[in-house]
Structure 1
Amino acid sequence: MRSSSSFYLSRLDHLRFVAAALVVLFHYLHAFVGQVQPINPLAIVVSEGHMGIGLFMVLSGFIFAVLCAGKSVDYKLFLFNRFVRIYPLYIFAVVLAVTLMVYQKQINYNVFDIFQWLLLFRPSSISDLPQFSHLWTIPVEFSFYLLFPFFHQFYKKYGARYFIGMIGLLLLLRAGIYLEYGTVRYVAYETLFGRLDQFLIGYLAACCYLAPAARRRFSRPWMLALACGLVFYVIHWLNRHGGGANVEAGWWIVWPTVEALAWAALVLAYLCQRWSLPVWADRLLAQGGVLSFSLYVCHPWVISVLAPRVGVLPLGLGELGDNILTGVLVALPASLFLAWTLNRLIEKPFLEFRRSYLLPQV
């Protein structure tokens, strides 16, 4: 995590890479198989790798809370920084998507259809090109940016009880939606009303991290093992209850909150550990985190090219094992190469326009 300030935690970049890699392997697996309930623990994690999105959301709240602790935020400069961080690559992807839809699929759009992609709602045309349907997360993420400076002020004024109340309100809203419509999966999974829990819980996790007593508690090695076990249990539970395909389940009311709590525990436990990785491993994983946004944006395009041409390599590990290892050996490295190119040519030049948005505490 490297921002316009000088603060840096390489372990946050490790987790960002893990989140992006989970999504890549998930999409490669499901390019060949539908919803599965494997026995192998690694296969269970990859089969529900979409949960990497939840980890991204928790990390967003965590990162901003740590960066802005004890400071006030200049709203305009904050949004400007987020715009130059997200929109250059996002607009590149949107223009490419619209171009392909018009010239390769002969689907014509008017100006309003195109403008929808740049707003804070899921565009109606997003399903017309599968290589870019995952971009629904970008408007949700940018909604966090619009709200964060206000939540930051509210936390300073009202404390954690305000965030807990907001999470409670979101739970009530999702319960009402479920009672009215018989399903709340899409609201819980794809909209601000499901993902905001995760951002707020990430913020609260950062407040724990900044408290020395809490940091000492989470620094114990068994806490990391416990957090990993909790995350796996949550993933296993989701998989055994139909995963993301179970759109009519009532548990979607609480799922975003439960998922966020598990990820927040892992974030805290990992960041607070006192042991260190070898320098080469730390730098390699951190570089993966630097590329995580580009990796997320570009990987479905890479998979759409590779999947029908490479398929699943016969590696002797069974259908799911071969699929996952092919993803690790082929899809992930290829996606990382394209992500590195996009980062160098599109992301990085625009990041030089960032300015400090932190103000002294008043």
Structure 2
Amino acid sequence: MRSPNIRYFPAVDHLRAYAALLIVFYHGLHLFSYDARFHREFGVDDWLQPANPLVAALAEGHTAVSLFMVLSGFILTYGSLDRAIDAWGFIRNRLLRTYPLFLLLVFAGISAFPDRFSPGAFAQTVFGLGNLAGALDAPPFTSMLWTIAIEWQYYLLFPLLLPVLKTGWLRQLAGMLAVLLVVRTGAVLLGANARDLGYLTILGRLDQFLVGMCAAWLFRNRPLSRRAGAALAAAALAAMLVALAAFNAVGGWPVAPAWKIAWPTVEAVLWAAFVVGYVDAANAATGLWSRLLARIGEVSYSIYLVHFVVIWSLLHSGLRFAPSGHAVADALLATLLLALPLTLAIASLTYRYVERPFLRLRGRYHREAADAAAG
């Protein structure tokens, strides 16, 4: 994904591709296997807890959202480390980047399910609060839109956060993370749901954007060799897989113990280490695999928003794909052979005709720091 404001990193597109593919397989695993086991619409009861640790980690593939959040902080900050931001230009670019496909799905949901429409729910969703109760609920078209709401809440904060963090990156980050953990702890002690607080709100997710921002500063100022980057990425990925398998073993996403107030921070640190190490290690890659991943990363926003519609539609078509008779294996095969190719085809179409025409309208939103100070 090339931008007039940010140096292009092929490895960042790789990471977008990994996150997009992970979320496709995560939803495919759960929705297809649940249908095979219970023959009814998906619910979080009977959450998958596979014995295989890799499949157990995949069962918690919602962590792909965390990777996307860290990446947002990383790439937006890297392009702004030495320059000041024109806030209105930045917001305009973010609108052009995210809203065309977002609005298409909003109106698809309203058109398909007009009984779900209300002016208040529509306004709440369109104006960046779709992650909160009362937003438009017209699945599968709106099922992924809650994360875009949190992204937009980041975008509104970003021009304010960046100059504050520049006064002392590690010190400010540590203080902000401490404040967020204290506030989440207080909210849980007062009766908030620790899972929903950490997963569905900016109070839980801001850790990830902030850590991604700091990761960009570290990447610029503490560069690693390709070998050291590869080692860091491998260690961080291994730690994340272990953490996800353990997370699944103690109940996975549905349970809401108090310790989940710290989970977003754990995800943020591990994914940020992976991002920094991977970009150092893989950014110079030029092989076919790199170009293929970069292409998937380029359409990752479309993949993210349309894949749930594809999986839901396959399930509601009555199609049953069960060559092995084992629910988990068949779910992964159905995702690989049916859902993923369809998602890639549709995402390429929506990218070409919905996203890209508006992306070309983006402009520059940076000013040189010296010019900004003089102004």
Bin of the TM-score, shorter chain as denominator length: over 0.9
CA gap of 1:274–1:133, structure 2 versus 1, over 3 A, is: closer
Alignment partners' CA distance in 2, 1:35 and 1:88: 34
Aligned to 1:227: 236
Confirm or deny: 8 A CA contact 1:167 1:197 kept in the other structure.
yes
- Following superposition, the deviation at residue 279 of structure 1 comes to 1.9
CA gap of 1:221–1:16, structure 2 versus 1, over 3 A, is: closer
Alignment partners' CA distance in 2, 1:255 and 1:341: 36
* Within-5 A mapping of 1:3-152: 3-5=3-5, 7-31=7-31, 32-33=33-34, 34-102=46-114, 106-107=115-116, 109-121=117-129, 122=131, 124-152=134-162
Aligned to 2:188: 178
SS in 1 for 2:161: helix
- Following superposition, the deviation at residue 2 of structure 1 comes to 1.8
TM-score with structure 1 length normalisation? 0.92
- Following superposition, the deviation at residue 147 of structure 1 comes to 0.8
Q: Which amino acid aligns with 2:201?
A: T
Alignment partners' CA distance in 1, 2:350 and 2:106: 14
CA gap of 1:241–1:232, structure 2 versus 1, over 3 A, is: same
Q: Which amino acid aligns with 2:274?
A: L
- Following superposition, the deviation at residue 68 of structure 1 comes to 1.0
CA gap of 1:143–1:190, structure 2 versus 1, over 3 A, is: same
SS in 1 for 2:144: helix
- Following superposition, the deviation at residue 233 of structure 1 comes to 1.2
Count of paired positions: 356
SS in 2 for 1:245: coil
Alignment partners' CA distance in 2, 1:331 and 1:164: 41
- Following superposition, the deviation at residue 27 of structure 1 comes to 1.2
- Consecutive unaligned residues in structure 2, runs of 5 or more: 35-45, 371-375
- Residue by residue, what CA displacement relative to the aligned partner does 1:256-299 show, whole Å, maximum 9, x if unpaired? 00011111111111111169645211111011111111111111
Aligned to 1:160: 170
What is the percent sequence identity of the aligned residues? 34
Alignment partners' CA distance in 2, 1:218 and 1:40: 30
SS in 2 for 1:307: helix
- Following superposition, the deviation at residue 220 of structure 1 comes to 4.9
Alignment partners' CA distance in 1, 2:217 and 2:325: 43
TM-score with structure 2 length normalisation? 0.89
SS in 1 for 2:205: helix
- Residue by residue, what CA displacement relative to the aligned partner does 1:150-205 show, whole Å, maximum 9, x if unpaired? 11111222433122211111101110111110522111101110110000001111
- Residue by residue, what CA displacement relative to the aligned partner does 1:101-120 show, whole Å, maximum 9, x if unpaired? 21xxx34x332221111122
Alignment partners' CA distance in 2, 1:29 and 1:272: 32
SS in 2 for 1:30: helix
SS in 1 for 2:190: helix
Q: Which amino acid aligns with 1:236?
A: A
Confirm or deny: 8 A CA contact 1:218 1:268 kept in the other structure.
no
Q: Which amino acid aligns with 1:48?
A: E
* Structure 1 residue corresponding to 2:367, chosen from 326, 335, 359: 359
Q: Given the alignment of the two structures, is residue 196 of structure 1 paired with residue 221 of structure 2, yes or no?
A: no
Confirm or deny: 8 A CA contact 2:233 2:275 kept in the other structure.
no
Greater Cα offset, 347-356 or 120-129? 120-129
Aligned to 1:264: 272
Aligned to 2:43: none
Q: Which amino acid aligns with 2:180?
A: L
Alignment partners' CA distance in 2, 1:312 and 1:272: 43
- Following superposition, the deviation at residue 308 of structure 1 comes to 3.9
Greater Cα offset, 193-202 or 154-163? 154-163
- Following superposition, the deviation at residue 5 of structure 1 comes to 3.0
CA gap of 1:9–1:312, structure 2 versus 1, over 3 A, is: farther
CA RMSD between the two structures: 2.0
- Consecutive unaligned residues in structure 1, runs of 5 or more: none
